[in-house]
Amino acid sequence: MTRNQKLLEFVEQMAAMCRPDRIYWCDGTEEEYQLMMRLMVQAGTAIWMDHSKRPNSIYVRSDPLDVARVEDRTFICSVRREDAGPTNNWADPMDMKRTLSSLFDGSMRGRTMFVIPYSMGPTGSHIAKIGVELTDSPYVVANMHIMTRVGNKVLEVLGEEGDFVRGLHSVGAPLEKSAPDAPWPCNAQHKYICHFPDTREIWSFGSGYGGNALLGKKCHALRIASVQARDEGWMAEHMLILKLTNPEGRVHYLTGAFPSACGKTNLAMLVPTIPGWKVETIGDDIAWMKFGTDGRLRAINPEAGFFGVAPGTSMKTNLNAILAASHSSIFTNCALTPEGDVWWEGMTEEEPPEVMDWLRRPWYPGCGRTAAHPNARFTTPAAQCPVIAPEWEDPDGVPVDAILFGGRRGQVIPLVTEAFDWQHGTFIGSITSSETTAAAAGKVGQLRRDPMAMLPFCGYHMGDYFSHWLKIGEMTDPSLLPRIYYVNWFRRDSQGHFLWPGYAENCRVLKWIFERVDGKAQAIDTPIGRLPTPESLDLSGLDISAAALQELLTVDAGEMRTEVPLIKEHYTTFGDRLPKEFNEQVKLLEERLAKAV
């Protein structure tokens, strides 16, 4: 328990509204985690997986109406509408609290309210933040055990006076006396994921799935934390963090922001093909960065686990993720094999003859539907990753040497571009774009802008977010700032074939970036930034034609000129809150392109 009066009052007030049958304070122990697993199995929410194939792991199927984030039901409830910006759904905080209070009234009848004190980041780190989530879902408790640091050790750091992000979650399905429970309780008709940035609160109702319910993830670690970062002078970003070591043992740390379907998790756990080079993982999804006493940005991974998309993950695409999930994991909405293991599309080269799909139906090759839901997930402790870096929980964070932005572009954008400086790098991050795939909503190949891969996750006006990036660049000696790069693994030739092999071969781009940071690799100036010379990119053992390399490392000024109107149109979204520096960057780009042959 705790003597923190703010926390005790929060629990008392929310319990009075939600009216649970009992209140359980989570202590974060392994015994508690096992209790949650047993509760889910007994309730029919989960089944134990075959111990010989997937030890200490469970398999869960959600309700078909509760399978993913619900962006149209996600709100930023800032006091002033303009602070939410044009890319977020806004609701008046007073009005939304009234709506939610009526929904939460009695929502936990027949259930237990679990009090989850959690730390985003290593417990006690000066970069970490504490939150408390109240929930009526054992599934949430178990997942939060994996994804965050939970329990008494967090309460000790919080102390009697410490403050915290307040999170309230309910599946919205009260249990009446003698009424049976659903295997996956939820409220499909009334879903709300609401953020109150001014008061550092999150209220989530109706969904029990993923980021809708695990409030430490996108809700706290990005939407609320981005506001905290703005107010306190640090950065909360949708970025991987990796450690890159050369054969001589020299180390650089890189972060990277990529929209969905661009290989972010694969890059974080990459297995290099160049002898002697090594990649280790700090984090695969979120980075919090603060300036250290040395004036450098230092990053922590605020999460303690991986909440990975299962389909497409295989020994070929991400060996280390597969190995990490070999035990002590939670699998949601995958397919189940007759032997008691999981399967999903892309997991194996050959499809199994028959599995039970995520909707409890027999599935077999050629039946015309997928076996796993496209958003099927595995929740796995980061410590189980074979290439987790020894310093991944360093409370002081790791010094960031380079920041990568990237998207899926079939044409125009070169393999890798180095920004001229921090302001130019912020500019190219702000125009990050990706072509939609078959798995995304909308027309295939449609170009979508996702600045810094933060568009769905920034808790305030994106124009102000851009300004915050520029301010960060003024807070230290420019020579101490990370270099910024834009990468594109997805360039295609005129026949539609990929010009670059991608996956593990992306280590060749990382090597060039590493050597640029060291002042060794050569580059040439182009209108959009600095590109590798063909000789500076290590292609040893790689079968790639001179023509393909030429296309990958060429800036076509004519094609780039067609991008400029699209950038200007993109910027109109942010109105008068767009930093004036960005309009100047567009003008400079136009001038450089005009001079190009």
Q: Annotated catalytic sites, by residue?
A: 262
35, 165, 167, 442 from 309: Cα distances, Å: 26, 27, 25, 20
DSSP SS3 for 22: strand
Which residues in 174-315 belong to E strands, given as ranges?
192-196, 201-205, 235-237, 240-245, 251-257, 278-283, 287-291, 297-300, 305-309
Radius of gyration, CA atoms only, the chain: 24
Phi, psi of 278 (to 5 degrees): -140, 135
d(CA 566, CA 489): 21
Residue 248: half-sphere exposure toward Cβ, Cα within 13 Å: 6
d(CA 508, CA 271): 11
d(CA 173, CA 104): 10
CA diameter of the chain = 78
61, 209, 334, 344, 485 from 375: Cα distances, Å: 12, 11, 9, 10, 29
DSSP SS3 for 322: helix
* CB count in 10 Å sphere of residue 256: 26
Cβ proximity of 124 and 305 under 8 Å? no
176, 381, 386, 553 from 304: Cα distances, Å: 36, 6, 15, 38
Cβ proximity of 78 and 197 under 8 Å? yes
Residue 265: half-sphere exposure toward Cβ, Cα within 13 Å: 23
* CB count in 10 Å sphere of residue 340: 15
Cβ proximity of 526 and 532 under 8 Å? no
Tokens 């949601």 -> residue: 332
CA 572 to chain centre: 27
Q: Which two tokens stand for residue 61?
A: 């199927």
Which residues, 6+ apart, have CB-to-CB distance to 550 below 8 Å?
534
Cβ proximity of 292 and 397 under 8 Å? yes
DSSP structure class, residue 398:
E
